[in-house]
Amino acid sequence: MRRKEKAVRNDAKEVFARLFSAIPDPHIELDYADPWQLLIATILSAQSTDKRVNEVTPQLFARHPDPRSLGEAKQEEVEALVKSTGFFRNKAKAIRAASKMITERFGQEVPKTIEELVELPGVARKTANLVLAGGYGIASGIVIDTHARRVAQRLGLTKEEDPEKIEADLMGQIDRQDWIAVGLALILHGRYLCTARAPSCATCPLNEPCKSRESRPEGTWKQRADKERELIPKKR
Ligand code: SF4
């Protein structure tokens, strides 16, 4: 391994060690009881917040408890149920069509491969990775959403812009057994600390190895990791 590559890998190792110390139990903040519910919640979360989706899904799943029921539901009824998540016409269409396909082609079971998942309406690679990770514990790749993308770029873990290329870059820097955890941890770090508008660099445990830090660190990185652990809401 050339010296430069080795240095990059060592930096990444340091970043991931600190990230997992601050976020030892990375989790999905959407509420769900099974892979299908996670799929539907994830489609609804586009351009919305997990909090807003969690307000909507209890009623949606009470009215339509399985893929067959939602797949057969009327468009207008589903639109009304998901309206507050935004882009509700397209989302209602996508969750009905995905549920219909899951019923007709997959016997009401969400498929377990990324190739089959991305065939479902409204499902791209990010959603497929998240559903496989949270629904089945399958590490098909690394979930790269807008937060994970921004944090990976700021940390200097990638120079890419395209989420699939960012994912490939990260997959080369961390063992497969940590793929699920690292994606979820980057999302939480971006949501609560390394925010788009005002990253909290002074209190960030990743400050020293970060290529984009905007201020000097306070205290030790372990103290900052302790604070971040307190900041991130626990899994419900
Ligand atoms: S030091 Fe700042 S830019 Fe770097 S990861 Fe932390 S909060 Fe984000």
pLDDT computed for residue 8 by the predictor = 57
Which of 191, 204, 208, 221 should be mutated for ligand 1, with most atoms under 8 A from CB?
A: 204
Active site residues: 126, 145
* Atom number of ligand 1 nearest to Cα 154: 3
pLDDT computed for residue 236 by the predictor = 73
Q: Decide if 174 contacts 214 (C-beta within 8 A).
A: no
Which residue ranges of the chain lie beneath pLDDT 50? Answer: none
pLDDT computed for residue 5 by the predictor = 55
Ligand 1 lined by 206 (C-beta under 6 Å): yes
pLDDT computed for residue 190 by the predictor = 98
pLDDT computed for residue 235 by the predictor = 82
pLDDT computed for residue 7 by the predictor = 55
- Four-point Cα dihedral 221, 226, 227, 229, nearest 10: 120
Rounded Cα gap, residues 163 and 181, in angstroms:
17
Q: Which residue's CA is minimally distant from atom 2 of ligand 1?
A: 201
Long-range contacts of 42-46 (CB under 8 A, 24+ apart): 42/127, 42/130, 42/131, 43/91, 43/94, 43/95, 43/98, 43/122, 43/123, 43/127, 44/82, 44/85, 44/91, 44/95, 45/85, 46/87, 46/91
Around Cβ 234, how many Cβ atoms within 10 Å?
8
